[in-house]
Homo-oligomer: A and B are copies of this chain.
Amino acid sequence: MGNHVVCFGELLLRLTAPGRELLLQSGRLDVHVGGAEANVAIGLARLGHQAAMVSRVPAGPLGEAAIGHLRRHGVDVSGVGTAAGRMGLYFLSFGAGVRASDIVYDREGSAFARAGAGDFAWPALLDGADLLHLSGVTAALGPDSAAAALAAAEAAAARGIAVSFDGNYRAQLWNAWGSDPRAVLTRLVGTAEIMFGNHRDISLLLGREFSGDGEARRREAADAAFAAFPKLRLIASTARHVVDADTHRIAARVDAREGSVQTEEVSVAGIVDRIGAGDAFAAGVLHGLRSGLDLEGIARSGLALTCLKHSLPGDASLFTQRDIDAFNAGERDVRR
């Protein structure tokens, strides 16, 4: 490894009702491995980047399965240790048409959530890395996890390793403990060069609203963020219009200090699995960035990967450059 991306976060097992059934309507569950940062790691590895995961799982077949899944797709898992605690789980039933999908989390007491800042050997885990990716979900799990996230981000920053941060704001998790999300997130974003989030995330960070509408508002928010966070050089987000559970329309936006790109809206119909679409966007943006593309290319790379993700069962994007090219070329019929 070397010049690689380190992703830090929880590994989860997703247990999904088959077809479009409600949970346990019949007695079968399909299992996929997930976790926001793991999805990014897999998405990057499938695109040919070196990616390494840092996490904790319980010893035994559940943790091993999660590790094995990452390894199968080419992620370095030498930083995923075992620890006391459960495997984090979540249960999912897919919606259809006018019915929304539904998630039941069961991640309390997980091996990862029980780990604190001292359980990870930063900065050694960053040896050779040039990017650390993490997300706000980790910080929201509880005070120990928040401290662990900060320790990771600050270790990277101290070493001059770029930090990529995906807000992934989950009010429900933050509200479950006596947290001050703004304080924690402000410190985390302060370490970041790349932030995934839109004007609402920035409002939350800066404690102010942005009044314009559409692209103007988004640019205004980006400017405010760039002003508040001197290390920040790229803000990426999607705008999603939910028609129904099976059809969304999605546009991608990337803001740099100089210049912005906002793509046209793509209609994503026939949605198979919308989970992890945000992580696929992050992977696509990082892919574009690490491939040396310009802002337009970065935005299109993120757009392609997030749109494609909706067509694929499981939490992570497994697509390759060939799939991104086919998407960009408008190929929608059978490739022979």
Contacts and interface: CB of A to CB of B under 8 A. Distances in A.
A52 to B, nearest CB: 14
A312 interface: yes
A62 B311 contact: no
**Number of copies of this protein chain within its complex:** 6
A230 interface: no
Interface size on A, as a range, is 35 or more
A242 interface: yes
Interface string A64-96: 110011011110000000000011010101011
A88 to B, nearest CB: 11
A99 B323 contact: yes
B65 A24 contact: yes
Interface stretch (A151-159, A196-204, A268-276): A268-276
Nearest to A170: B336
A22 B312 contact: yes
A29 to B, nearest CB: 5
B311 A102 contact: no
Contacts of A62: 23-24, 91, 104
Contacts of A23: 61-62, 65
Contact of A310 (B97, B108, B308, B313): B97
A268 B246 CA distance: 10
Interface stretch (A181-189, A210-218, A324-332): A324-332
A29 B26 contact: no
B86 A108 contact: yes
Nearest to A28: B30
Interface stretch (A1-9, A13-21, A124-132, A231-239): A13-21
Given A28-B30, A336-B172, A22 B272 contact: no
Contact of A97 (B19, B24, B311): B311
Interface in A28-70: 28-32, 60-62, 64-65, 68-69
A335 B100 contact: yes
Nearest to A46: B64
A161 to B, nearest CB: 26
Interface in A142-170: 170
Given A62-B104, A95-B334, A98-B268, 4 more contacts: A20-B272, A27-B30, A72-B72, A97-B271
14 contacts: A20-B313, A23-B65, A24-B62, A27-B31, A29-B29, A61-B93, A95-B334, A96-B310, A97-B268, A98-B310, A99-B326, A103-B336, A244-B270, A245-B270
